């Protein structure tokens, strides 16, 4: 959208429409009067916009639940967003796993597939798997209903060109034009973003109260990433390169990291580092319960270690406490540096959640400054390791609900972005 292609009044109408849609989404089911209060739009303006959105089937009306004592008369009508009006395809490429979901416009998951992959694989076979999984979940969706495809990627990307530049955890992937390849196969527009930023995007989408707060999101998956939300804005850094907390050095004499440095946080807490520590433990003659499971052909994974730790195995519990401790040190540093209200951990750690969170909290208490750590809540994300996948769907859904980029689109005479538009 630009000044040359769109008139002021049309832009204002689009902005107001999105304000209304967003307000209904966040409060639904809700009344027109509440929408007017939240958006600051006049009730008459809300009525016009709501009628238009009802005609377009973007909104629908439902009867309000009957209140005790009101047996007669028609119940008042409330508004909700009609998520069924469109579909979104979301893909999460993690170095050792592919997840694919078909969602409605409200990012409710309708179909889901996942499969493991080898992070040392070449890109082509992995992309073929992604295409196959996408076709499966799309088989009952007419092409015109699909609003777009969002994909969550590890490592560093060029978002504009849709290219995965590199990923320390996927050493064979260099300059892969993944958006273009998927667009060619799936015949729909593809938008890419980094998994750690998408985790934050979903956190914001699903918890509107985070709009007023500073929140750190730590992604503890194959690698480790960090995102910072501040008053509804995602901090991305230069070219979106922020968040590589996994490559912050925590031991200058530590083990070599796949990034070329030494003693990075990932050399202690990444999935491969956790498995490596377990193997060493078994070599030393401890970890008998784990060794027995491996002998019975169970695959070694952090989840297996977490499970044994939860069930009381002291050796695996030791590994889990150490992992939590290192994450806690990194989080304590970030609390000192950034002063967040809340820290959300995303990852499949729920089986050992209590052990890990206790170790994290111990390090925060030990290392973060008292005033900085005061009232900081540390919790596991409800969606565990699916945050980036759902964030990839939000990447597409936000085109419908979020405001267009006012900074570039609004002529200067409007002054502060948004202010004059809301008063229309
Ligand atoms: Zn590193």
pLDDT in tens, the chain (424 residues): 444 455 688 888 889 999 999 999 999 999 999 999 999 999 999 999 999 999 999 999 999 887 766 666 777 899 999 999 999 999 999 999 999 999 999 999 999 999 999 999 999 999 999 999 999 999 999 999 999 999 999 999 999 999 999 998 899 999 999 999 999 999 999 999 999 999 999 999 999 888 899 999 999 888 899 999 999 899 999 888 899 999 999 889 999 998 999 999 999 998 889 999 999 999 999 999 999 999 999 999 999 999 999 999 999 999 999 999 999 999 999 999 999 999 999 987 878 888 999 999 999 999 999 999 999 999 999 888 899 999 999 999 998 887 655 433 333 333 333 333 333 3
Residue 71 has what pLDDT?
Answer: 63
Ligand 1 centroid–CA 354 distance in Å is 27
Ligand 1 centroid–CA 212 distance in Å is 33
Ligand 1 centroid–CA 359 distance in Å is 23
Residue 353 has what pLDDT?
Answer: 85
* Cα(120)–Cα(99) distance, integer angstroms: 18
DSSP string for 60-128: EEEEPPPPTT--SSPPPEEEEE-GGG-EEEEEEEETTEEEEEEEETT--EEEEEEEE--TTS-HHHHHH
| Cα torsion 14, 15, 20, 26: sign | positive
Ligand 1 centroid–CA 245 distance in Å is 9
Ligand 1 centroid–CA 344 distance in Å is 22
Ligand 1 centroid–CA 45 distance in Å is 54
State pTM to two decimals: 0.86
Burial class of 285 by CB neighbour count within 10 A (0 to 12, 13 to 18, 19+) = exposed
Ligand 1 centroid–CA 119 distance in Å is 16
Ligand 1 centroid–CA 180 distance in Å is 29
């Amino acid at each position: 959208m630009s000044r040359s292609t769109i008139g002021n009044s049309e832009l204002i109408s689009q902005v107001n429409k999105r304000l209304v849609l967003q307000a209904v989404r966040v409060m639904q089911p809700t009344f027109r009067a509440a929408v007017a209060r939240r958006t600051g739009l006049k009730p008459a303006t809300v009525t016009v916009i709501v009628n238009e959105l009802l005609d377009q089937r973007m909104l629908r009306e439902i009867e309000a639940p009957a209140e005790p004592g009101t047996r007669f008369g028609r119940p008042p009508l409330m508004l909700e967003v009609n998520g069924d009006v469109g579909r979104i395809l979301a893909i999460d490429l993690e170095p050792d796993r592919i997840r694919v979901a078909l969602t409605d416009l409200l990012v409710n998951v309708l179909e889901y597939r996942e499969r493991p992959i080898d992070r040392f694989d070449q890109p082509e076979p992995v992309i073929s798997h992604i295409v196959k999984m996408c076709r499966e979940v799309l088989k009952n969706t007419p092409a015109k209903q699909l609003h777009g495809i969002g994909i969550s990627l590890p490592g560093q990307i060029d978002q504009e060109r849709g290219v995965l530049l590199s990923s320390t955890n996927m050493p064979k992937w260099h300059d892969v034009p993944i958006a273009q390849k998927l667009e060619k196969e799936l015949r729909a527009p593809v938008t890419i973003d980094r998994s750690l930023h998408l985790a934050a995007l979903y956190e914001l989408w699903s918890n509107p109260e985070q709009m007023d707060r500073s929140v750190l999101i730590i992604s503890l998956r194959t690698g480790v990433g960090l995102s910072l939300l501040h008053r509804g804005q995602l901090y991305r850094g230069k070219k979106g390169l922020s968040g590589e907390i996994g490559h912050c050095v925590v031991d200058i004499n530590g083990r070599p990291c796949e990034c070329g440095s030494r003693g990075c946080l990932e050399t202690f807490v990444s999935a491969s580092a956790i498995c490596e520590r377990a193997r060493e433990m078994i070599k030393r003659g401890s970890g008998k319960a784990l060794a027995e499971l491996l002998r019975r052909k169970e695959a070694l994974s952090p989840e297996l270690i977490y499970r044994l730790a939860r069930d009381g195995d002291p050796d695996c519990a030791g590994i889990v406490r150490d992992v939590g401790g290192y994450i806690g040190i990194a989080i304590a540093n970030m609390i000192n540096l950034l002063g967040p209200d809340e820290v959300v951990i995303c990852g499949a750690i729920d089986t050992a959640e209590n052990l890990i969170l206790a170790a994290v909290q111990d390090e925060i208490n030990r290392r973060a400054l008292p005033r900085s750590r005061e009232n900081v809540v540390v919790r596991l994300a409800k969606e565990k390791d699916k945050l980036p996948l759902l964030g990839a769907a939000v990447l597409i859904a936000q085109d419908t609900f979020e405001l267009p980029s006012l900074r570039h689109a609004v002529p200067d005479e409007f002054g502060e972005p948004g202010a004059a538009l809301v008063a229309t």
